[in-house]
Amino acid sequence: MDNKPKILAHLCCAPDALYVVGLLQASYLVTGYFYNPNIHPEEEYRLRLEETRRVARHLEFELVEGEYEVDRWFQLTEKFKDEPEKGRRCHICYAWRLNKTAEKAKELGIPLFTTIMSISPWKSSAVLNRIGRMTGRKYGLEFLEADFKKKDGFNKSVLLSKQFGLYRQNYCGCLYSWRTR
Ligand code: SF4
């Protein structure tokens, strides 16, 4: 019987999940949550999801799949479509996905949640951790603060995902980031 604490980890893509979930599994019983209605176009969404399923099978963790609520995502972010990456549009995008992760954690009875997004050199861990803390307070859950890009995390994830033959995207995810590739 594994008595490690349970955690629900929001997963944005397979290459990042392969490295970070592996790390988390040393201390936690991880359930993954793929909730990313920001990803455009839908074929890209399906591809990233399929690759994440491969990682879940390989690392033997349960993967919960959220809905592809793309219309809702566009409604939330459209006003900020011209913002640069890391700007307000991204903050809304992080907050929406973290809120949905907390909702799912609550539903599953998992008291702790996190996101693996801080592994990206294009994402501020300070912003993600602040939004995570606020979301945790709102739902009465604990948010695991992290900066997975530390200790050369990003380069390690690139290497590991290459060895595993995973697809790695060349843009963050949304239509707006896709146009500026
Ligand atoms: S650039 Fe990335 S984080 Fe920012 S809004 Fe687009 S998908 Fe979300």
Domains of the chain: 6-179 (3.40.50.620)
Q: What residue's CA is closest to ligand 1, atom 2?
A: 172
CA dihedral sign of residues 139, 126, 46, 53: negative
Q: What residue's CA is closest to ligand 1, atom 4?
A: 90
Sheet with 62-65, side-by-side order of all strands: 62-65, 29-34, 6-11, 112-115, 142-143
Token pair recorded at residue 36: 């990313």
Q: Each residue's pLDDT tens digit in the chain (181 positions)?
A: 579 999 999 999 999 999 999 999 999 999 999 999 999 999 999 999 999 999 999 999 999 999 999 999 999 999 999 998 889 999 999 999 999 999 999 999 999 999 999 999 999 999 999 999 999 999 999 999 999 999 999 999 999 999 999 999 999 999 999 887 6
Q: Say if ligand 1 is within 6 A of residue 93 CB.
A: yes
**What's the whole-model pTM score?**
0.96
- Cβ neighbourhood burial of 150 (10 Å; 0-12, 13-18, 19+): exposed
* Nearest one of 6, 27, 36, 62 to 117, comparing CA atoms: 36
